[in-house]
């Protein structure tokens, strides 16, 4: 019997090469006269913003660009962006960039549109709204932020904190594979593994809202990501691989936006927040170890996913054996695409692990979705295995 569930996603999705140059056309119903663009300096320097800006100029829009977003954006960056948007009298918000820019754009649209306080919006379904019209344009194939109702910000003591609400789903997501062609191999690899984590955790999530739509999307996402990740890393100009990665990332985003992620993300957040390791790499470093911890409770789910990424595992009939092989093959894949394999490779030592385990336990919003209950001692053991 299929249980009750709710599925939310972005109102409109455009997937097209060169679609960022037609942003003014695609977003005409949402932009108003004073669009406010949230991005980072790297995107501007790489020229990735130029096609969208040229289109906005042609449409005679009076836009403002805020390019001060950094990785693991802080509360101060969010507040600076909000004040800039208010001065600009923003009629809409466009986020163009990686997950950090898209997350900041969501909060700018919400807090400028509603006037509410950020401290009152933290958590699940605490945001009041309304928000300004919102368009999101990803330049990486990893976060799926363009279709998720989540914004993650780094606050005091390097803690990651989230606003989770359907209110911050964008009016439109514009996916232009051309914007991902310049991604360096390490970023392609890390964001690709990040998207795979989204699909895996969504499929196995203990959330009451784990549903057939999310599971179907998670499977399709893993097929696309598994088929294209190594090609995208090794052939950066391969537009077919880049398109497959971007679509796979979006599908994984849709999946976990409705069937939430769990302990991989909870244990990744202290790695990123404290040591400023990119989010996708943080996930990759703990992924196989968390999966092995979860196998007693999630062997069947992992066994079902395994052949979609690694067809050679289909001959394994025992669910536990196939799930264990799945975890092992994901670690090997991470190594093949050139990612560091140990926490020590990114400057983390044994003395850091107890605080990391304590900090991971703050992520109750995520841990409640884990297939197997996880305590602080378990988190410490996982970090020790990953060291």
List Cα–Cα distances, 86 to 35, 69, 104, in angstroms: 11, 17, 15
Whether residue 1 lies inside any domain: the answer is no
Residue 148 lies in a domain: yes
Structure tokens at 147: 């279709």
Residues 370 and 302 in one domain: yes
Strand partners, 138: 97
53 and 95 assigned to the same domain: yes
Q: Could you tell me if 209 and 170 lie in one domain?
A: no
pLDDT at 2: 86
Does one domain contain both 328 and 378? yes
Specify if 5 maps to a domain: no
Do 73 and 94 reside in the same domain of the chain?
Answer: yes
Contact (Cβ atoms closer than 8 angstroms) between residue 302 and residue 204:
yes
Considering the domain architecture, whether residues 334 and 266 belong to the same structural domain is answered as yes
Residue 205 domain-assigned? yes
Instruction: Count how many domains the chain has.
Output: 2
Same domain, 162 and 289: no
Based on the domain organization, do 79 and 165 belong to the same domain?
yes
Quick one: 37 and 171 in the same domain? yes
Q: Are residues 229 and 131 in the same domain?
A: no
* Residue 331 structural domain: 183-386
* Separation CA 356–CA 40 (nearest Å): 28
- 319 belongs to a structural domain: yes
Whole-number Cα distances in Å, 315 to 311, 325, 339: 9, 11, 28
Residue 35 and residue 148 in one domain: yes
Q: Is residue 3 part of a domain?
A: no
Q: What is the CATH number of the domain that holds 27?
A: 3.40.50.1970
Structural domain ending residue among the three candidates 128, 163, 179: 179
- Tell me the pTM: 0.95
**Domain termination residue (choose one: 179, 202, 225):** 179
Task: Identify the CA nearest to 149 among candidates 5, 8, 251.
Answer: 8
Listed residues 140, 164, 179: the one ending a domain:
179
Residue 6 forms part of a structural domain: no
| pLDDT per 10-residue tile (average), the chain, 387 residues | 92 97 96 98 96 97 97 92 98 97 98 95 93 97 95 85 94 98 94 98 97 98 98 97 98 97 97 92 98 98 98 96 98 98 97 97 96 98 98
HEC secondary structure over the chain: CCCCCCCCCCCEEEECCCHHHHHHHHCHHHHCCCEEEECEHHHHHCCCCHHHHHHHHHCCCCCEEECECCCCCEHHHHHHHHHHHHHCCCCEEEEEECHHHHHHHHHHHHHHHHCCCHHHHCEECCCCCCCCCEEEEECCCCCCHHHCCEEEEECHHHCEEEEECHHHCCCEEEECHHHHCCCCHHHHHHHHHHHHHHHHHHHHCCCCCCCHHHHHHHHHHHHHHHHHHHHHHHCCCCHHHHHHHHHHHHHHHHHHHHCCCCHHHHHHHHHHHHHCCCHHHHHHHHHHHHHHHHHHHHHHHHHHHHHHHCHHHHHCCCHHHHHHHHHHHHHHHHHHCCCCCCHHHHCCCHHHHHHHHHHHCCCHHHHCCCCCCCCHHHHHHHHHHHC
Instruction: Give the per-residue pLDDT at 26.
Output: 97
User: Quick one: 164 and 275 in the same domain?
Assistant: no
Residue 2 lies in a domain: no
| pLDDT for 160 | 83
- 319: domain CATH number? 1.20.1090.10
């Amino acid at each position: 019997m299929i249980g009750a569930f709710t599925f939310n996603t972005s109102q409109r999705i455009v997937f097209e090469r060169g679609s960022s140059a037609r942003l003014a056309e695609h977003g005409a119903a949402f932009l108003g006269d004073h669009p406010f663009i949230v991005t980072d300096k790297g995107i501007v320097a790489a020229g990735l913003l130029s096609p969208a800006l040229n289109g906005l100029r042609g449409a005679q829009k009076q836009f403002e660009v805020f390019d001060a977003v950094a990785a693991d954006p802080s509360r101060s960056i969010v507040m600076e962006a909000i004040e800039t948007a208010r001065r600009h009298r923003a009629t809409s918000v466009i986020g163009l960039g990686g997950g950090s820019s898209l997350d900041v754009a969501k909060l700018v649209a919400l807090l400028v549109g509603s006037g509410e306080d950020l401290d009152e919006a933290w958590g699940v379904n605490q945001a009041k709204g309304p928000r300004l019209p919102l368009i999101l344009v990803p330049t990486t194939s990893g976060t799926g932020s363009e279709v998720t109702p989540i914004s993650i910000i780094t606050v005091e003591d390097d803690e990651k904190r989230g606003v989770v609400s359907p209110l911050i789903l964008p009016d439109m997501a514009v996916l232009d594979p051309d914007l991902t062609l310049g991604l360096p191999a390490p970023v392609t690899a890390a964001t690709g593994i990040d998207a795979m984590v989204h699909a895996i955790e969504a499929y196995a999530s203990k959330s009451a809202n784990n549903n057939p739509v999310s599971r179907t999307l998670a499977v399709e996402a893993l097929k696309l990501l598994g088929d294209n990740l190594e090609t995208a890393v090794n052939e950066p100009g391969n537009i077919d691989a880049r398109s497959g990665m971007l679509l796979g990332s979006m599908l994984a985003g849709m999946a976990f936006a409705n069937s939430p992620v769990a302990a991989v993300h909870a244990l990744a957040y202290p790695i990123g927040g404290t040591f400023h390791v990119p989010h996708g790499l943080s996930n990759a470093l703990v992924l196989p170890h968390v999966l092995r911890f979860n196998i007693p409770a999630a062997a069947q789910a992992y066994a079902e996913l395994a052949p979609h990424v690694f067809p050679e595992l289909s001959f394994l009939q025992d669910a536990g054996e196939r799930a264990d092989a799945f975890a092992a093959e994901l670690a090997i894949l991470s190594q093949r695409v050139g990612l560091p394999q140990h926490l020590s490779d990114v400057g983390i030592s044994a003395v850091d692990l107890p605080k990391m385990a304590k900090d991971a336990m703050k992520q109750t919003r995520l841990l409640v979705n884990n297939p197997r209950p996880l305590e602080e001692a378990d988190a410490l053991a996982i970090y020790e295995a990953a060291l």
